Structure 1
Amino acid sequence: MEAVPLSYGLPEEVEVASYHTRAVERWGNNGTLIHAIDQVAEEVPVAMVYNGISHAVMLATPMSLEQFGLGFSLSEGILHSRRELYDMEVVKRKDGIELQMTISQERFVELKQRRRNLAGRTGCGLCGAESLQQVLRHPKPVACDRRFGPEVVHTALRRLSQMQSLQTLTGAVHAAVWVTANGSIAYIEEDIGRHNALDKLIGTLAKNSVDLKQGFAIVTSRASYEMVQKAATIGIPMMVAVSAPTCLAIDMAQRAGLTLVGFARGGGHVIYTHSQRFVDQQKPS
């Protein structure tokens, strides 16, 4: 079937559809068969290439790719600031896409010293790390005294489902969103991989010079260790997940000073770390 691309601001010559249509046979509960057209999310290999050296290959949805490259570079500690990324070219190859980035010499030397060969997957963001030290990075503690009311979280959650355009079409992608202090969703990014969606959001925040002390992130997934590590690395003060966190994620959030909230749905939520950023919490009797 013909691909139906979504616009994401890439040059025409490297445009890749974020979903495709497929002919399917849809069976109903009563045993009826309907021949229909379905929208299916695309996933392609995306290589992170720094100064000509391929560092990581992630399976991702081919949209917001420049944000993806920048966000991955920052959240993985490859870059310390956006200014250290001098140039990025999105190059379509036969078997996937390369994000060819030119970074500062200092950061490139550090990257080579790490000797990390990462092969990313949609369900595992740490595959390929060579040592425990590479996995268990310890970001600086998040410095933010901003407090948020619970109603702000749930206002954003109610709005979120209406803004997930690719999820509405395909039912296959995660979202990561940036929420302001009044519950407005300022930015949303989608991807088949929850880590990728967060990286895209981080890249969007950096590109727009967003003050991270004035909002928080929501992810439509569980909160894994790496998700918390990525958020803490760039200084996000609070991350809200619609599903559960892991023990390692909770421990990381506690050490990093990040407020971690899980099971945020249906008007309820669970605060796992640093509840001081929530105001008007009902005290237990």
Structure 2
Amino acid sequence: MITKVNAYKWEGQLTLIEDYLCVEEVYELYINNKFVEELVTSPNQIEELGIGHAICEGYISKNSVINVHLDENKIYVESREIKNNIEKDIQIKINVDTILKIIKTMHTLSEVWKLTGGVHWAALFNTSGGVMAFSEDIGRHNAVDKVVGYAILNNINLGNCILASSGRQPYAMVKKIVNAKIPIVITKSPPTDKGVKLARKNNITLIGFARGSRFNIYSGEDRIII
């Protein structure tokens, strides 16, 4: 995920330095052998990315995955059609102390960010604040896709998870959460107006500006135990 390059740094004078940069690669996603799109990503957790992206973008449901495999730069996801795939509304709750525990933990997870400042991250937590999955990527969308894919491959019930993310929560990001059927999301960044509207429409608990001992609840406040 990381490479070193030479660069010149200016601090009153030019100095030759070695700097750490993030590596990016391009992969092609196929679903049931049909080309879907190109994905530009950090070259890790690629199978997880393929499954997670297919689910988060609504191409397939999370219960329809049969198999995933790589062939060089091609990701092949195999799924089956599921009819009447209706899930009950998710009823998990979380208390304030657990939210604060997650906030404290989530800012310590990304070693690549500490070296490069060039990645986003996403993590899944359980309702006790324990880390269940973690991913980092040059793209905030990819990071979410990867933790969702990891959950599917490892039989983690996304309906019992809290998603933590470094990225903003505009409409497209909240749509991923809706498609993955994750009930609670916590981010250090703000949402947008359409992101909040979509979260409220789908009963997603959306928590933003989660930093230190403070956070804002934009939707789904009934899941928070004070």
Report the TM-score, using the length of structure 1 for normalisation: 0.73
Residue of 19, 25, 28 corresponding to 1:47:
28
List alignment gaps of at least 5 residues for structure 1: 1-17, 108-138, 281-285
What SS does the corresponding residue of 2:16 show, helix, strand or coil? strand
- Alignment of structure 1 residues 191-230 onto 2, 5 Å: 191-230=137-176
Letter in 1 for 2:77: M
User: Offset at 1:142?
Assistant: 6.9
Query: In structure 2, how many angstroms separate the alpha carbons of the residues matched to 1:184 and 1:89?
Result: 29
Determine if contact 1:24/1:35 at 8 Å carries over to the other structure.
Answer: yes
Query: In structure 2, how many angstroms separate the alpha carbons of the residues matched to 1:53 and 1:214?
Result: 32
Structure 1 runs (4+) deviating above 4 angstroms are 139-142
Which residue in 2 is equivalent to 1:180?
126
Which residue in 1 is equivalent to 2:19?
38
Letter in 2 for 1:25: Y
| Larger Rg belongs to | 1
Percent identity at matched positions?
24
Residue of 21, 25, 36 corresponding to 2:8:
25
User: How many positions carry a matched residue from both structures?
Assistant: 224
Letter in 1 for 2:76: Q
What SS does the corresponding residue of 1:260 show, helix, strand or coil? strand
2:75 matched to 1:99?
A: yes
Question: 1:214-250, CA deviations, whole angstroms, 9 ceiling, x for partnerless residues?
Answer: 3311110111112111112121111111111011111
Determine if contact 2:6/2:18 at 8 Å carries over to the other structure.
Answer: yes
Letter in 1 for 2:211: R
Which residue in 2 is equivalent to 1:241?
187
Report the TM-score, using the length of structure 2 for normalisation: 0.91
Q: 1:152 to 1:34 in 2, by over 3 A?
A: farther
Which residue in 2 is equivalent to 1:262?
208
Letter in 2 for 1:155: K
- Alignment of structure 1 residues 6-155 onto 2, 5 Å: 18-28=1-11, 31-82=12-63, 84-92=64-72, 97-104=73-80, 106=81, 143-155=89-101
Question: 1:189-229, CA deviations, whole angstroms, 9 ceiling, x for partnerless residues?
Answer: 11111111001011111112222343311110111112111
What SS does the corresponding residue of 2:191 show, helix, strand or coil? coil
Q: 1:195 to 1:206 in 2, by over 3 A?
A: same
- Of the structure 1 ranges 45-54 and 218-227, higher mean CA displacement relative to structure 2 is found in 45-54
Letter in 2 for 1:208: N
What SS does the corresponding residue of 1:156 show, helix, strand or coil? helix
List alignment gaps of at least 5 residues for structure 2: none
Residue of 172, 178, 181 corresponding to 1:232:
178
User: Offset at 1:150?
Assistant: 2.1
Query: In structure 1, how many angstroms separate the alpha carbons of the residues matched to 2:204 and 2:77?
Result: 30
